[in-house]
């Protein structure tokens, strides 16, 4: 990935980069529809080739033939821990520190409750939870509900104001590592250190980070973290999420959803709850085995990059792809009212590029989808002076190549130059954007 950017703007140059790409073989792990350039892996990853057969095996053999015996014979019972150990390799956690379970929202409720319990015990005078105003809404909704239930105050700030918001009244800082709307990435280690210096616990959402950018939770000394399985981890729609707790916190409190799967001995069937040690207590109810089986295949597609350089190699390709996309858009789509919401600096960017436009962003995305270039749309955030809508494009280096980038930008140029996006069918809003 050392070719200079000035050498990559022709179609042939992009084909040459693909031919030289040591990760190009990873694309064969996926069922990619013919004629589709898929730039929405930051919302839903592509189907792994192994997933359909694996889920079919879980249905027809393990469930159909093994029946309830498969909790033991097929290893269903410890799937959350086994998959958690795979995820741990991608987020800087150790074996036994992560479980795959539930949804991101539910897991956030668990860890945020635990963090607030710790804060209430260690510093009861702290009554504020701080987050970023443009954080993903489900995170804010969960935080708002907890604050209302506990008589706390939720304070939302702009990213540039986070440091000044770390005041003595703050108990917990809750952030998403990579912003879903802009692709801007926080310096996890620096922000966590600043929070800790102010006596504040740090909770991180890795929904747009896990499998996309290098993450090292233990080196950053984060307190809690959650993330989802269906974006860059390719686990399928509604795939189970994951949860991590710093080992120094894991045994301090019950998590609030103290279900039987998080019991120290669930099949002892005691009437009282005794939490399992460590991260296992963050499980709740009976686990979704079919979904976990599909997620297992998705995780394997990411871990397949390890012999080729792992997350560092995926990150290098991601940055090269996004650099190229930004350059081609600015060169080939100039004069069409496109702005750039995503930071240019590599250390501040996730694995997506978000373009802004004052008119027709939704319709432009729909016109691109009709051409086989799949991205998505996000409405402007509504903050004062910020009414630009977003065309959002995710770049998953496991299956996106440089030629894909060139063709995607060419389709965008044509949609803009011809006014194709103005056609009525592209301006009909769908339920999911």
* Catalytic machinery residues: 136, 205, 230-231, 392
Residue 271: phi, psi to the nearest 5?
A: -75, -20
Query: CA 336, 419, 374, 136 torsion: positive or negative?
Result: positive
CA angle (310, 36, 358) in 5-degree steps: 95
Question: Around Cβ 77, how many Cβ atoms within 10 Å?
Answer: 16
Q: What's 44's DSSP letter?
A: S
> Which position has the token pair 């691109």?
368
d(CA 108, CA 103): 8
Distance of alpha carbon 208 from alpha carbon 84, whole angstroms? 17
Question: DSSP states of 116-159 as a string?
Answer: HHHHHHH-TT--EEEEETTS-HHHHHHHHHHHHHHT-EEEEE-G
Q: Looking at residue 184, what DSSP letter applies?
A: B
Q: Which two tokens stand for residue 68?
A: 């309830």
Q: Are 130 and 155 in contact (CB under 8 A)?
A: yes
């Amino acid at each position: 990935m050392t070719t200079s950017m000035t050498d990559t703007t022709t179609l042939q140059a992009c084909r040459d980069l693909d031919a030289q790409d040591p990760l190009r073989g990873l694309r064969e792990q996926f069922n990619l529809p013919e004629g589709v350039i898929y730039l929405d892996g930051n919302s839903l990853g592509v189907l792994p080739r192994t997933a359909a057969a694996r889920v079919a095996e879980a249905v027809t053999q393990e469930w159909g033939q093994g029946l309830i015996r498969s909790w033991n014979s097929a290893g269903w019972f410890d799937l959350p821990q086994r998959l958690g150990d795979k995820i741990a390799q991608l987020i800087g956690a150790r074996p036994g520190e992560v479980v795959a379970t539930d949804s991101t929202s539910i897991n956030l409720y668990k860890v945020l409750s635990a963090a607030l319990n710790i804060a209430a015990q260690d510093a009861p005078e702290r009554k504020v939870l701080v987050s970023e105003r443009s954080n993903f809404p489900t995170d804010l909704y969960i935080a708002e509900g907890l604050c209302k239930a506990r008589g706390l105050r939720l304070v939302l700030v702009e990213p540039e104001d986070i440091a000044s918001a770390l005041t003595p009244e703050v108990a917990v800082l809750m952030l998403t590592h990579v912003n879903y709307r802009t692709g801007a990435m926080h310096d996890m280690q620096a922000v966590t250190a600043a929070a800790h210096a102010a006596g504040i616990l740090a909770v991180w959402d890795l929904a747009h980070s896990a499998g996309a950018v290098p993450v090292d939770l233990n080196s950053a000394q984060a307190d809690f973290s959650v993330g989802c399985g269906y974006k860059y981890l390719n686990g399928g729609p509604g795939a189970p999420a994951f949860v991590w707790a710093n080992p120094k916190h894991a045994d301090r409190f019950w998590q609030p959803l103290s279900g039987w799967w998080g019991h120290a001995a669930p099949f002892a069937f005691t009437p009282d709850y005794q939490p399992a040690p460590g991260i296992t207590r963050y499980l709740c109810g009976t686990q979704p085995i079919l979904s976990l089986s599909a997620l297992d295949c998705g995780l394997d597609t990411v871990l397949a990059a390890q012999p080729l350089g792992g997350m560092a190699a995926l990150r290098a390709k991601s940055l090269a792809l996004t650099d190229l996309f930004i350059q081609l858009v600015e060169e080939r789509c100039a004069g069409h009212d496109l702005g750039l919401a995503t930071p240019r600096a590599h250390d501040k960017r996730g694995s997506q590029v978000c373009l802004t436009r004052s008119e027709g962003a939704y319709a432009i995305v729909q016109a691109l989808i009709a051409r086989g270039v799949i991205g998505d749309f996000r409405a402007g955030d509504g903050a004062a002076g910020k009414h630009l809508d977003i065309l959002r494009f995710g770049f998953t280096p496991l299956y996106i190549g440089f030629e894909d980038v060139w063709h995607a930008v060419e389709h965008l140029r044509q949609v803009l130059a011809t006014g194709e996006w103005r056609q009525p069918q592209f301006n009909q809003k769908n339920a999911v954007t």
